[in-house]
Amino acid sequence: MKASFIPYTLHFKQASGTSRGILKTKDTWFIVLRSENKFGIGECGMFKGLSVDDRSDFESKLQWVCDHIDLGLHQLLDALVEFPSIQFGLEMAFKSLESQDGFDLFPSEFTASQSSIDINGLIWMGDKAFMNQQIKMKLAEGFRCIKMKIGAIDFRTELELLKSIRQEFSADDIELRVDANGAFLPSEALEKLKRLSEFELHSIEQPIKQGQWQDMAKLCEQTPLPIALDEELIGVFISEKKNQLLHAIKPQYIILKPTLIGGFHGSREWIELAHEAQVGWWITSALESNIGLNAIAQWTHTLNSPRPQGLGTGSLFTNNFDSPLIVKNGTLHYENNRVWDISNLSINT
């Protein structure tokens, strides 16, 4: 078997705002495996400024993996504990190599175009007019679950936007989730959650910055609306530490981003521990290309989660790869009569 990696920069169609700043591009890397006349591809979507493996030796570690690919998947995963996005890329690449066409990683009713996945519509940060425009667009597109990024513009304006949605749509009509990306100070968070709870929100993601277990635990105990941990899970590698976090903080939900927490294996471990701790969960992509999104979506379908998932970012980029993944009526579909086109990567498949 031979392995190589290809860096690739995704370009946003429109600059996308988060509480960490404006995103215009997103770097990603692809591991390509070749064995006889077959190929496998996996995406290592390290997220600069967020991923724990945002390190100066990231590409040299990718090269080490390619040079030692004959160690096999399990031994390599053990050696890559501190590089969760490379772990995920490897899992994906080996699954791809085993598949019939390189892309049908988890054959199911989803990949047979007989089933779909409920997803949330994502509203990016911006001024009031821009956010309002996005909200109307998502509602017109048939979404019944909307996730709104908050924490970067005036809080009162964000409350007004939520109020405007609720004046038109009840909680039975539209499920509203908000994501603060750690933007609130611990001293102000509870009061802000009380204000937000007036709009019958499903949940709020990461209200305060990660690493403040005591403050987060107090918030989860007193909160008037469910709290979902997101960034809090990043960099927690050991099972015992994961269990400790869940029992110390006692969140209502955790959000699993395979790219950031060690792929399928790391996510499955969190799910098992969450079940034991009676903590809810759902899966979210992390601005991967359609190659990474495809793997996450196919795996997510196998979990049979009843909640809307955080998938469907493929339309954000100008230079994404044509794929069978299509969003319609607030659900993600795999239309297997559509073909993959990864010619931008210049891989001889």
**Has 61 been annotated as catalytic?**
no
Share of the chain above pLDDT 90, in %: 82
Report pLDDT for 19: 55
CA 39/CA 5 separation, integer angstroms: 13
pLDDT tens-digit map of 301-342: 999 999 999 997 678 899 999 999 999 999 999 999 999 999
Which of 88-97, 172-181, 271-280 shows the lowest mean pLDDT across its residues?
Answer: 172-181
CA 17/CA 36 separation, integer angstroms: 44
- CATH class entry, domain 117-343: alpha beta
Report pLDDT for 349: 47
Higher per-residue pLDDT: 30 or 17: 30
pLDDT tens-digit map of 61-88: 999 999 999 999 999 999 999 999 999 9
At 331 the three-state DSSP class reads strand
Higher per-residue pLDDT: 141 or 297: 297
CATH code for residues 2-104? 3.30.390.10
At 156 the three-state DSSP class reads helix
Phi-psi region of 103 (alpha: psi -120 to 50; beta: other; left: phi over 0): alpha
DSSP assignment string, 204-259: EE-SB-TT-HHHHHHHHHH-SS-EEESGGGTT--SHHHHHHHHHHH--SEEEE-HH
Report pLDDT for 67: 98
Closest by alpha carbon to 149, among 258, 37, 257, 19?
A: 19
Mean pLDDT of the chain: 94
Report pLDDT for 135: 86
CA 328/CA 144 separation, integer angstroms: 12
Q: What is the mean pLDDT of residues 203-224?
A: 97
Q: What is the mean pLDDT of residues 284-301?
A: 97
Catalytic residue among 138, 149, 192, 242, which? 149
- Boundaries of every domain in the chain: 2-104, 117-343
Res 9 pLDDT > 50: yes
Report pLDDT for 348: 58
pLDDT tens-digit map of 114-137: 999 999 998 887 788 888 888 889
**Has 257 been annotated as catalytic?**
yes
Report pLDDT for 14: 80
Catalytic residue among 147, 192, 242, 257, which? 257
